[in-house]
Structure formats: C-alpha cells, structure tokens
Amino acid sequence: MKIAVINETSAADKNGDILAALDGRGHEILNIGMKKKGADPELQYNHTGFLTALLLNTGRADFVVGGCGTGQGYLNSAMQYPGVFCGHILTPLDAWLFTQINGGNCISLALNQGYGWAGDINLKFIFERIFSVEIGCGYPAIRKEPQQASRKKLEEISKAVHLSLDALIYAMPEDIVVSSLSYPGVLDVLDLKSMTDNSVKSAIQNFI
C-alpha cells in the first residue's frame, strides 16, 4: 500500500512520530507534507486537504494520513473533495472500527490537542489497529451486508455531489492550487509524465 503522510504547519513537529509509527509495516511511505515547524513555504489544512484529493484521485496514494492541531480542520478540508473518505481518529478503537465499518482511505489525527505523554505510542497503536482488519468487512459480522451497501452508496453520493477532479482544479482558489503544486516534492509524486488522465494532467499543467 502507498501511504501519503501530509502534515500541515501546526503539526509539522509530529511528522517524525507519524513516520516512526508507520515504520516496519511493509508499506511505501510518501512523506510530502511539512517536516518541521517554521519551514517555508507553509502548508495549511486547506492545502493538505487539496493535496489529499489529488493523490487519492490520481492513484498516487492508496491511503492518506493527515491531521492538524485538533484534526477537525483537516477533516473538513479533505471531505470537500470527491473520492475522499476521511475519519477523525483519536484512539486505536476508532481506527479499528473506522476501517471495518466505514472503509475509508484517509484519516485525520489530532496532533496537538491531547497529544501528551505517550502520544507517539498511541499513534503506533492506531496504525496497528487500522491495518489489522479487512477494509470495509463490517462490524459486527451481522451488519456486514448493510454496512457494505452503505459504503458503496456513499461512493455514488460523492460522485454525484462533487465536480470532477479536473473541473474542481480549475474552480479552486488559485493561490491554494499554485501553493500546493509548487510545494517541494509534490510534482515528483504526481509524476505528470506517467499520468493517464489527460484532463487532470492538463488542469494541473495550467497552474505550474
């Protein structure tokens, strides 16, 4: 699995904790967010939400780990986009249930509020639980079929209520698009040369 870690500015100092918690699990990690506080340029949660949509909808990432001080700003930003199914994860139990019931492809972590003693250990436990069960398998087992049907229906709703990704890029505030695309490493991960969706590729090229 390709997992993108996209830290925004308020939680940049937790980047190392996230990487350490993901280490050794057999996944390819794309660390493309902020890696330390005070770095320039800055990514706010509006940038990281947009980057999340780009990576998931172009297939450059299978799963995104984001967050902010409380986890709420990034959650709201990411959920503005098609194909992004994000959960606000505070505990390992949240992670375990979210994976089975909601089958999401993105999580938002609270990386300042309540992040105290053993916060890094809590992250390790969260990732252990997220990747310990089948995505969308349903919980409890008796609820498997209706939960899977609801998850599939949610994908249909997401497609119906959002612009296509290329139209969305053109409609976005230009400063968010330009700042996000120009952030170091982003275009390398997107790899426009190998991108097969020409509409999305053209939209991105319009801003670089």
Q: What is the mean pLDDT of residues 157-184?
A: 96
Please classify residue 78 by burial: count the beta carbons closer than 10 Å to its beta carbon, then call 0-12 exposed, 13-18 middle and 19+ buried. Answer: buried
38 pLDDT band (50/70/90 cuts)?
Answer: confident
> Residue 46 above 90 pLDDT?
yes
Give the CA dihedral 177, 8, 184, 208, nearest 10 degrees.
Answer: 0
Q: Which pLDDT belongs to residue 75? A: 98
pTM of the predicted model as reported, rounded to 2 decimal places: 0.95
Model pLDDT for residues 68-83, shown as the tens digit of each residue: 999 999 999 999 999 9
Model pLDDT for residues 116-169, shown as the tens digit of each residue: 999 999 999 999 999 999 999 999 999 999 999 999 999 999 999 999 999 999
Query: Over pLDDT 70: what percentage of the chain?
Result: 100
Give the whole-angstrom CA distance, residue 64 versus residue 33: 11
For the stretch 145-167, what's the b/e string if a residue is b when 16 or more beta carbons lie within 10 angstroms of its beta carbon? eebeeebeeeeeeeeeebeebbe
Give the whole-angstrom CA distance, residue 55 versus residue 146: 29
Q: Which domains does the chain have, with CATH numbers?
A: 2-205 (3.40.1400.10)
**Which helix H or strand E contains 56, and what residues bound it?**
helix 45-57
Query: Mean pLDDT across the chain, nearest whole number?
Result: 95
